[in-house]
């Protein structure tokens, strides 16, 4: 470690630039990406950048203290459409790529988003949130004052609830509006509504001849009781809808092959409930025959890496090769994500994989090259060119100034033998300013999900704790993605069992192999499932000097009814729901073991968290306080379940400061 660099701080969150959505220009000579920062107003700001592959410096294409994203090029590359909230709500804007000001093309009351082009460049297809009786030809964008007035008036009205799915984390209480698919005619500058069903429609792709659209939805009359998500084919002329998939699974990211003869998509049939690995399918448009290309690939398709420095969406596949013989995609495997290829005769090829996190990619059919968005444990993000001969060239140098200023600790990868013979992967960060022969306090971090994965990516929170002088251990206990179907399924119906054993075994391993860790000064923290496990740990062992539980679950009995996913997630993960076996749910509830807690516990919770509602934190706090335990409760107004990842920057910094203060006080 160098001594001339300073340690990372919580406020450094505002100095990190985050990239997303890399995509080639149609001619393959350049690419664009979205850059997100936290500006001097402590607000998120996203803009589009353009860079030629000659490695000329990137050029900023959009400006302003707004969120701009989802840029899509016209087929000839002369125009681009993007969404931006520069007028207060997300609308679509048209930009000539040779210069000039962007032109606003939608003024929908509830906004417009996710634009795409027809293959001939005549139409822009996009999504909009509409009431059943909305007239798309008479949409008026509300002013800031009008939106504020409408919000205030809504607060004075009672909320009538008559369906099971009536709220969602990050959205709040749901109304009767639905996402519909709209087509904008570039020639006549007119709008046409393509879908009207009483359901949310997710646009996927348009056929090469422009006649058919694919969308994902649940159009079943029993949709309120189902989690299925089917793919449908829509005839854009007749509006006839044809279901492409069965009613047994969830399917998404569909795309037509270049010829239009086949459709590729991700999905699964819930064989292992929420722990089911995603597969890649192709469907023959003419015969309707469906084939799974990855049935023997025991790896999670897509990006399951947990991080607090990822903002904005990026393509993870599947993407067709030019000759339609294979598909490209990102997969999550053993702590890393990489770029893969699957051929139509079921062969899997690794195109790029290293000890890092590939979070998005773009493919150029002309050159056979890829743009990769990559994060490493010591660098938040950069864009790279991967050529057909597998040569990798770095195109951007994001965060260079920041990384020259601060000390970033490179984690050591661990292979930890579990009690039953499984191997558990983890990482250890040494504390800032580490000196041989000295003893250091220690923090165990536990990820959420539980079906997610810590991995080879930049994690500001881990670096912050190391900067504060802690050795930091983070592992992937059973239940995590990245180690096959059996491993990710192993936690179900066994919360607090094998997963708890894996975590304690990992702590023991660290203490046995790293003499600089002070075994009398141990801390533990985690969020969501990691918060549940933190609660479980302090109720089952007193080895930790301090604990911080975040957006946690403490009582599965009430979680069933208060969470936006409780009614199905409880059954999925524990094997029972409230009405089947309440005694079993109580046994799984950390609050049952409140009398055994001796570890000082800090409870952090967002007040608008509908995934793990704040009453979970309230119950645990009241129980422990009533028992005169050492406990504090910090509530974050306006924050939902995504607080640590994409919440209000000020709240994110405050959260990090509270974690550090608690550990400093008790460890």
- Spatial separation of the C-alpha atoms in residues 360 and 277, rounded to whole Å: 19
Of 383, 474, 521, 377, nearest in space to 34 by CA: 383
Dihedral of alpha carbons 16, 21, 26, 29, sign: positive
- Is 127 known to be catalytic? no
3-state SS, residue 575 = coil
Phi, psi for 277 (deg, rounded to 5): -65, 140
- From 20, 202, 375, 528, the catalytic residue: 528
Q: How far apart are CA 103 and CA 295, in angstroms?
A: 46
**Alpha carbon separation from 490 to 372, 612, 623 (Å, rounded):** 32, 22, 31
Helix axes 460-467, 649-666, angle to 10 degrees: 40
Q: Is residue 528 among the annotated active site residues?
A: yes
What is the Cβ-side half-sphere exposure of residue 1, based on CA atoms within 13 angstroms? Answer: 22
Copy the structure tokens of residue 6: 């300073």
Catalytic residue among 90, 362, 641, 644: 641
Using alpha carbons only, what angle is made at residue 196 by residues 162 and 161, rounded to the nearest 5 degrees?
Answer: 10
Other Cβ atoms closer than 10 A to 593: 15
Q: How far is CA 519 from CA 414, 471, 510, 543, 590, in A?
A: 19, 11, 10, 9, 24
Cβ burial, residue 246 (10 Å; 0-12/13-18/19+):
exposed
C-alpha 604/C-alpha 592 separation (Å) is 20
Phi, psi of 63 (to 5 degrees): -135, 165
Mention every residue, 6+ apart, whose C-beta is less than 8 A from residue 152.
none
Cβ(419)–Cβ(501) below 8 Å: yes
Active site residues: 528, 641
């Amino acid at each position: 470690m160098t001594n001339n660099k300073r340690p990372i701080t919580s406020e450094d969150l505002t100095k990190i630039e985050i990239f997303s959505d890399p995509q080639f220009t149609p001619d393959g000579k350049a690419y664009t990406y979205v850059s997100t920062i936290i500006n001097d107003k402590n607000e998120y700001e996203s803009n589009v950048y353009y860079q030629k592959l000659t490695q000329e410096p990137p050029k900023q294409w959009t400006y302003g203290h707004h969120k701009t994203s989802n840029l899509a090029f016209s087929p000839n590359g002369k125009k681009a459409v993007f969404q931006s909230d520069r007028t207060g709500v997300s609308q679509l804007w048209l930009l000539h790529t040779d210069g000039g000001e962007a032109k606003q093309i939608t003024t929908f009351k509830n906004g417009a988003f996710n634009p795409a082009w027809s293959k001939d460049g005549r139409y822009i297809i996009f999504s909009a949130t509409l009431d059943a009786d909305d007239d798309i030809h008479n949409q008026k964008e509300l002013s800031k004052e009008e939106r504020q007035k409408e919000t205030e008036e809504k607060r004075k009205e009672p909320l009538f609830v008559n369906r099971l799915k009536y709220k969602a984390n990050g959205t709040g209480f749901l109304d009767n509006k639905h996402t519909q698919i709209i087509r904008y005619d570039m020639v006549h500058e007119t709008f046409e509504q393509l879908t009207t069903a009483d359901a949310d429609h997710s646009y996927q792709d348009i056929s090469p001849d422009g006649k058919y659209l694919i969308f994902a939805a649940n159009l079943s009359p029993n949709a309120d009781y189902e989690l299925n998500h089917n793919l449908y084919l829509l005839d854009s002329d007749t509006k006839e809808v044809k279901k492409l998939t069965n009613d047994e699974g969830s399917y998404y990211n569909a795309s037509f092959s270049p010829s239009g003869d086949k459709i590729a998509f991700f999905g699964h049939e819930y064989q292992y409930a929420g722990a089911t690995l995603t597969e890649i399918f192709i469907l023959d448009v003419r015969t309707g025959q469906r084939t799974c290309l990855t049935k023997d690939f025991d790896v999670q398709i897509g990006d399951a890496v947990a991080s607090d420095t990822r903002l904005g969406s990026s393509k993870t596949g599947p993407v067709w090769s030019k000759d339609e013989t294979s598909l490209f995609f990102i997969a999550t495997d053993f702590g890393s994500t990489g770029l893969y290829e699957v051929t139509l005769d079921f062969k899997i090829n690794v195109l790029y994989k290293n000890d890092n996190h590939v979070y998005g990619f773009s493919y150029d059919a002309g050159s056979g090259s890829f743009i990769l968005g990559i994060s490493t444990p010591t660098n938040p993000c950069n864009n790279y060119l991967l050529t057909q001969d597998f040569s990798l060239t770095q195109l951007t140098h994001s965060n260079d100034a920041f990384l020259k200023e601060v000390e970033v600790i490179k984690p050591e990868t661990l292979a930890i033998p579990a009690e039953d013979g499984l191997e558990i992967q983890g990482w250890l960060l040494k504390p800032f300013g580490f000196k041989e022969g000295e003893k250091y306090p220690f923090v165990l971090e536990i990820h959420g999900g539980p079906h997610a994965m810590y991995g080879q990516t930049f994690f500001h929170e881990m670096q912050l704790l190391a900067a504060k002088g802690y050795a930091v251990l983070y592992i992937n206990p059973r239940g995590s993605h990245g180690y096959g179907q059996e491993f990710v399924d192993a936690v179900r119906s066994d919360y607090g069992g094998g997963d708890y054993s894996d975590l304690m075994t990992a702590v023991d391993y660290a203490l046995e192999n790293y003499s600089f860790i002070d075994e009398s000064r141990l801390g533990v923290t985690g969020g969501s499932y990691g918060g549940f496990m933190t609660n479980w740990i302090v109720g089952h062992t007193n080895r930790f000097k301090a604990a911080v539980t975040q957006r946690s679950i403490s009582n599965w009995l009430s979680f069933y009814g208060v969470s936006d996913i409780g009614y199905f997630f409880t059954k999925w993960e524990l094997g029972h729901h409230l009405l089947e076996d309440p005694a079993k749910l109580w046994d799984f509830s950390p609050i049952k073991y409140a009398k055994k807690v001796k570890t000082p516990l800090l409870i952090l919770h967002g007040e608008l968290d509908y995934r793990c509602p704040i009453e979970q934190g309230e119950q645990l706090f009241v129980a422990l306080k009533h028992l005169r335990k050492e406990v504090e409760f910090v509530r974050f107004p306006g924050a939902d379940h995504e607080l640590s990842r994409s919440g209000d920057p000020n709240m994110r910094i405050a959260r990090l400061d509270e974690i550090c203060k608690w550990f400093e006080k008790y460890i």
